[in-house]
Structure formats: C-alpha cells, structure tokens
C-alpha cells in the first residue's frame, strides 16, 4: 500500500510514521524546518505509549511521489480548494482522499438519499471549488480523536488518544477503507470503519462549534470557558442548537451536553487550535466548524439564533486577522 501524507504536520506526520512502522510505503509532504528535520533524522514520536522513530520519504514535491493508493490530508479545510496542483501528480484512477478535518466536510451530502442528496455546502465548497479538485467520490471521511503537537521540527509529541475513525460517504464498508484501517491498526492506531461516520462528525462538532470560536473571541482556555457561568451557558445553548440541526438532517447522537462539557473541562487550561491560530495571526478555520452549520440550519429550516450571533462575531474577528498582513504592508510602504 502506497500512501502520501499531504500536510505532514502534527497529525499527518504521526499517522505517516505509524503507517511506515506497519510496512506501508509512506511519503510525507511538508515544508520548512520540519521537512528538513524529517529528511535528515526521520520522524521521532514521543508518546506515553512508547517512543519510536520512523524514516519515511519526505519531500516538498508531490511529483517525486507519483500516483498512490491513498492521500491522507493533513491540511486545514480552508486550504483544500488550492490543493489541486499538489494532488494532481499523486492521483491514479483508484486513489482515495482521506480528509482528516474538523467540522462539516465538503462531501457531506454525497451518497446520501433524501431531499439534500448531492447538495453543495457553500461554506466548505464555495462555488464547487473544493469538489473540482477533490471529487466527492474519492473521499473517505476521517474523524480524528488523537491529540498531537509538533514539539520541535521532526519531533511529534503524542498527547492522548489513538483513534481515527474513517468511513465512506455512502456508509458502505469498502475494500479501500478496510485496507487503510488494517494498515493503521498494524501501526498501533485505532481505526474503525464506521458506516455512520456522520454521527462521529456531529459528536466531535458539538465541542468544536462552541469552544473554538468562544476561545478566540474571549482569548480563553477551555477550562476557563467552562468555569465562567455565562460562557458555560452559551456553550450549552450552542450545543443544543447544533444537535437540533443534526436531528433535522437525520443524525441523532447519544451523548449528553453535560458529558461533553465535563470532558472539555477535564482538558484544563488548553488553548483550542482556533485560539492558537489567532495568536499566530493565521486565518481562523471556522467555515467548516461554525459557518457550515448555520448554512445547514437554513437548509433544514432550523432556528439557530445563538450560532448566528457567534458566527457573525467570529467572522468579523477573522476578517481583521486576514486583513492585518495587507494593512501592515501598506503601513510599511509609507
């Protein structure tokens, strides 16, 4: 099995190193000091489950890789539309795209019978720009429960969890999913093939849709949000509205809001990825996490006033982040 990891950051390099350990032919695509470190010394994984080093091929040029069986996407969802030139050299007729993203994926209504079958979600597939480079029929969904970080270039610190659930958009247990799952398990990870992956998507989204934007707007950790009565109540209302949207689309979760809150509070003084991006001046990855759900609510005729307000505020915040480099350049030119 030949696998390319496009965007071999914290999760991508961890998955790639695990697959390589299982005997798969793995190619990591990255850039900068992280790439140079992986080229020279491999990927070193530091984990409570045991440290190890893997030496898969690492490059910044997908043309060196050629066609593969699977592309594991470690990119952020807002980078998908521009990924076409990187993907093209690696695509054979049978190549799958395994999208490890948070939130609502661009393929969400692919292969699902009903009133929304084949419907495009503009927030995650504006004008069909993502589907044009990543056809939904190539997609395998992936919900990541593992937590990792880049401790230093070439070194991945595994914090907790080893589960990455995957699934076909149409709910089938395909040969390509089974092949990838077996390789992941051989590499020491959990990788169940879920016929109802959308259930996993919404369960994880319950937390992301509330904590990610609030953490950025309030510059607060997850524990701080939970301890503050008003923001805790806000999280509860956002989760309730999210579950209403999921139910209207036929997905009913069996996890309580209080249980999700308790799990979030246990993470302690953790900064969400959105808050970390804000502090680094990077665009906020909220289209798939929040904006798409507001769009789905409108499709399904579900009232989500709280989500709409938070989405408007987060969108304004993101506009300021994305405009900052241009304003800085104008100021420097005077």
Residue 62 token pair: 């997908």
Pair of tokens at residue 254: 């069996």
Contact 274, 257 (CB under 8 A): no
In the numeric block, which tokens belong to residue 64?
A: 């060196």
Residue 204 annotated in active site: yes
Tell me the C-alpha distance between 222 and 262, whole Å: 11
Whether 74 and 24 have beta carbons less than 8 Å apart is answered as no
Determine the Cα–Cα distance for residues 99 and 81; give it in Å rounded to an integer: 13
**Which DSSP symbol is given to 193?**
B
Catalytic residue among 2, 190, 204, 282: 204
- So which residues are the catalytic ones? 204
């Amino acid at each position: 099995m030949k696998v390319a990891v496009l965007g071999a950051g914290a999760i991508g390099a961890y998955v790639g190193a695990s697959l390589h350990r299982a005997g798969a032919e793995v190619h990591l695509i990255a850039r900068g000091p992280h790439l140079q470190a992986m080229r020279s010394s491999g990927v070193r994984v530091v984990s409570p489950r045991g440290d190890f080093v893997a030496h898969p091929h690492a490059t910044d040029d997908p043309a060196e890789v050629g066609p593969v069986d699977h592309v594991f996407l470690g990119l952020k969802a807002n980078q998908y539309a521009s990924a076409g030139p990187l993907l093209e050299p690696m695509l054979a007729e049978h190549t799958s795209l395994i999208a490890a993203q948070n939130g609502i994926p661009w393929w969400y209504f692919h292969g699902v019978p009903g009133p929304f079958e084949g419907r495009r979600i503009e927030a995650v597939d504006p004008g069909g720009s993502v589907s044009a480079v990543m056809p939904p029929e190539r997609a395998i969904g992936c919900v990541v429960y593992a937590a990792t970080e880049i401790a230093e270039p070439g070194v991945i610190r595994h914090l907790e969890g080893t589960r990455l659930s995957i699934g076909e958009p149409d709910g089938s247990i395909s040969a390509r999913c089974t092949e990838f799952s077996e390789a992941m398990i051989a590499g020491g990870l959990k990788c169940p093939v879920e016929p109802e992956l959308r259930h996993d998507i919404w369960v994880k989204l319950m937390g992301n849709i509330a904590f990610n934007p609030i953490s950025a707007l309030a510059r607060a950790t997850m524990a701080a949000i939970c301890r503050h009565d008003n923001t805790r109540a806000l999280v509860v209302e956002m989760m309730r509205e999210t579950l209403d949207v999921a139910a209207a689309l036929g997905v009913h979760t069996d996890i309580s809001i209080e249980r999700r809150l308790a799990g979030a509070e246990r993470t302690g003084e953790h900064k969400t990825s959105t808050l970390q991006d804000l502090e680094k001046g990077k665009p906020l990855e909220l289209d798939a996490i929040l904006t798409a759900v507001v769009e789905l609510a409108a499709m399904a005729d579900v009232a989500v006033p709280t989500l709409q307000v938070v989405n408007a505020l987060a969108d304004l915040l993101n506009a300021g982040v994305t405009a900052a480099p241009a304003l800085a350049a104008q100021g420097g030119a005077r």
